[in-house]
Amino acid sequence: MTTKKKNPVWAFFSSVKLALFLLFILAATSIIGTIIQQNQPFSSYVHEYGQKTAELFQKLELTDMYNSWWFLSLLGLFAINLIVCSLERIPNVIRLVRKDNLDIDPGRVAKMGLRKTSTLSCSLDEAAAAVSGFLKQKGWNPARRAKEQGILIFAQKGAWTRFGVYIVHLSILVILLGAVIGSPTFAKKVLNKPKFAFKGSITIPESRQTEYIYSLPGGEKIDLGFAVRCNFFTIEYYSNGMPKTYLSKVSVLENGKPVVLANGSTEWDLKVNKPLTYHGITFYQSSYQPYSDFLSLLRKKGVDREEKKIISGGQQIKTGFDKISFGILNQEVRGEAVQRLKVWFGGDEAEPSVFWIGNGQKAIIKRPSGEYELTVKQLYATGVQVTRDPGVWFVYIGCGMMLFGLYVAFFMSHRKVYALISPGEGQGSTVLFAGSAHKNKLGFEKVFARFVNEFEQRGQ
Amino acid sequence: MNSSQLFGITTLSYLFSSILYAALLIFKSKKAGRLGLWAAIFGVLVQTVALGLRWYESYQIGIGHAPLTNMYESLVFFAWCTTIFYIYIEYRYKASVVGAFVMPLAVAAMAYASFASRINQEISPLVPALQSNWLLAHVITCFIGYGAFAVAGGLGVMYLVKQRSTSTDPDSLTGSLPALRIIDDLTHKTIIFGFMWLSAGIITGAVWANEAWGTYWSWDPKETWSIITWFIYALTLHARFTRGWSGKRIAWLAILGFVSVFFTYFGVNFLLAGLHSYGSS
The DSSP line for chain B is --HHHHHHHHHHHHHHHHHHHHHHHHH--HHHHHHHHHHHHHHHHHHHHHHHHHHHHHHHTT----S-SSHHHHHHHHHHHHHHHHHHHHHHH--GGGHHHHHHHHHHHHHHHHH-TT---S--PPPGGG-STHHHHHHHHHHHHHHHHHHHHHHHHHHHHHHH-----TTSTTTTSPPHHHHHHHHHHHHHHHHHHHHHHHHHHHHHHHHHHS-S----HHHHHHHHHHHHHHHHHHHHHHH---THHHHHHHHHHHHHHHIIIIIHHHHS-STTGGGG-
CATH number of the domain that residue A118 is part of: 3.30.160.110
Q: Is residue A85 part of a domain?
A: yes
* Domain boundaries of chain B, sorted by first residue: 1-117, 128-281
Give A49 or B138, the one with higher predicted confidence.
B138
Alpha carbon distance A136, A317 (integer Å): 88
pLDDT band for position B279 (cuts 50, 70, 90): very low
The parent domain of residue A50 ranges over 8-90
Tell me which chain A residues have a C-beta less than 8 angstroms from the C-beta of B131. Answer: 245, 272-273
**pLDDT above 80 for B276:** no
Q: Are residues A132 and A221 in the same domain?
A: no
Q: Is residue A168 part of a domain?
A: no
Across the interface, do A282 and B214 touch by the CB < 8 Å criterion?
yes
Q: Is residue A165 part of a domain?
A: no
Query: A interface mutation test: which of B93, B181, B213, B237 has the most A CBs within 10 A?
Result: B213
Q: B99 and chain A: CB distance < 8 Å anywhere?
A: no
Closest CA to A27 of A82, A81, A78: A78
Note whether ipTM > 0.85 here: yes
Alpha carbon distance A236, A384 (integer Å): 18
pLDDT of residue A157: 93
Alpha carbon distance B38, A323 (integer Å): 84
Query: B interface mutation test: which of A18, A34, A274, A441 has the most B CBs within 10 A?
Result: A34
Q: Are residues A268 and A303 in the same domain?
A: no
The alpha-carbon gap from B168 to the nearest alpha carbon of chain A, in Å, equals: 26
Q: Are residues A103 and A44 in the same domain?
A: no
Give the nearest chain B residue to A67 (CA atoms).
B219
Across the interface, do A385 and B214 touch by the CB < 8 Å criterion?
yes
The dihedral through the CA atoms of B220, B223, B225, B231 has a sign that is: negative
Minimal Cβ distance to A271: which of B128, B196, B216: B128
Cβ burial of A334 (10 Å; 0-12, 13-18, 19+) is: exposed
- B128 touches B63 (CB < 8 A): no
Alpha carbon distance B35, B99 (integer Å): 11
Tell me which chain A residues have a C-beta less than 8 angstroms from the C-beta of B232. Answer: 23, 27
Alpha carbon distance A429, A117 (integer Å): 11
B37 Cβ contact list (under 8 Å, min separation 6): B17, B87, B90, B96, B99
Alpha carbon distance A227, B204 (integer Å): 32
Across the interface, do A37 and B273 touch by the CB < 8 Å criterion?
yes
- A118 touches A455 (CB < 8 A): yes
Q: B243 and chain A: CB distance < 8 Å anywhere?
A: yes
Q: Is residue A250 part of a domain?
A: yes
Share of residues in chain B with pLDDT > 70 (%): 91
Q: Is residue A149 part of a domain?
A: yes
Q: Are residues A388 and A261 in the same domain?
A: yes
Global pTM reads: 0.89
Q: Are residues A274 and A388 in the same domain?
A: yes
Q: Are residues A278 and A391 in the same domain?
A: yes
Across the interface, do A20 and B195 touch by the CB < 8 Å criterion?
no
Q: How many domains does chain A have?
A: 4
**pLDDT above 50 for B280:** no
Minimal Cβ distance to A385: which of B207, B213, B234: B213
The dihedral through the CA atoms of A117, A122, A124, A125 has a sign that is: negative
Q: Are residues A373 and A387 in the same domain?
A: no
pLDDT of residue A1: 44
pLDDT of residue A85: 92
The alpha-carbon gap from A126 to the nearest alpha carbon of chain B, in Å, equals: 41
Q: Would you give the distance in Å from CA B52 to the centre of its chain? A: 19
Q: Is residue A23 part of a domain?
A: yes
Q: Is residue A375 part of a domain?
A: yes
Q: What is the 3-state secondary structure (H, E, C) of chain A?
A: CCCCCCCHHHHHHCCHHHHHHHHHHHHHHHHHHHHCCCCCCHHHHHHHHCHHHHHHHHHCCCCCHHHCHHHHHHHHHHHHHHHHHHHHHHHHHHHHHHCCCCCCCHHHHHHCCEEEEEEECCCHHHHHHHHHHHHHHCCCCCEEEEECCEEEEEEEECHHHHHHHHHHHHHHHHHHHHHHHCCHHHHHHCCCCCCCCEEEEEEEECCCEEEEEEECCCCCEEEEEEEEEEEEEEEEECCCCCEEEEEEEEEEEECCEECCCCCCCCCEEEECCECEEECCEEEEEEEEEEEEEEEEEEEECCCCCEEEEEECCCCCEECCCCCCEEEEEEEEEECCEEEEEEEEEECCCCCCEEEEEECCCEEEEEECCEEEEEEEEEEEEEEEEEEECCCHHHHHHHHHHHHHHHHHHHHCCCEEEEEEEEECCCCCEEEEEEEEECCCHHHHHHHHHHHHHHHHHHHC
Q: 10 Å Cβ neighbour count for A137?
A: 11
Q: Are residues A327 and A315 in the same domain?
A: yes
- A207 touches A310 (CB < 8 A): yes
Q: B210 and chain A: CB distance < 8 Å anywhere?
A: yes
pLDDT of residue A442: 81
Q: Are residues A308 and A440 in the same domain?
A: no
pLDDT of residue B172: 65
Q: Are residues A44 and A109 in the same domain?
A: no
Across the interface, do A284 and B213 touch by the CB < 8 Å criterion?
yes
A38 Cβ contact list (under 8 Å, min separation 6): A63, A64, A65, A66, B219
Cβ burial of A183 (10 Å; 0-12, 13-18, 19+) is: buried
Question: Phi, psi (5° rounding) for residue B128?
Answer: -50, -40
Across the interface, do B231 and A26 touch by the CB < 8 Å criterion?
yes
Q: B191 and chain A: CB distance < 8 Å anywhere?
A: no
pLDDT of residue A457: 87
Q: Would you give the distance in Å from CA B120 to the centre of its chain? A: 20
Q: B206 and chain A: CB distance < 8 Å anywhere?
A: yes
Q: Is residue A170 part of a domain?
A: no
Q: Are residues A326 and A389 in the same domain?
A: no
Mean pLDDT by 10 residues, chain A (460 residues): 67 91 94 89 89 91 92 95 94 91 86 88 88 92 90 93 95 96 91 92 94 89 94 88 92 93 94 95 94 92 90 91 90 88 90 92 91 93 96 97 96 93 86 90 89 84
Query: A interface mutation test: which of B58, B124, B126, B131 has the most A CBs within 10 A?
Result: B131
Closest CA to B123 of B174, B87, B76, B189: B76
Q: Are residues A396 and A374 in the same domain?
A: no
Size of interface A-B (CB pairs under 8 A): 102
- Helices B30-60 and B99-115, packing angle to 10 deg: 30
Give the type of residue at A60: L
Query: A interface mutation test: which of B182, B203, B259 has the most A CBs within 10 A?
Result: B203
Tell me which chain A residues have a C-beta less than 8 angstroms from the C-beta of B132. Answer: 273
Poorest-pLDDT segment among A80-89, A375-384, B54-63, B218-227:
B54-63
The CA distances from residue A151 to A136, A332, A425, in Å, are 17, 96, 16
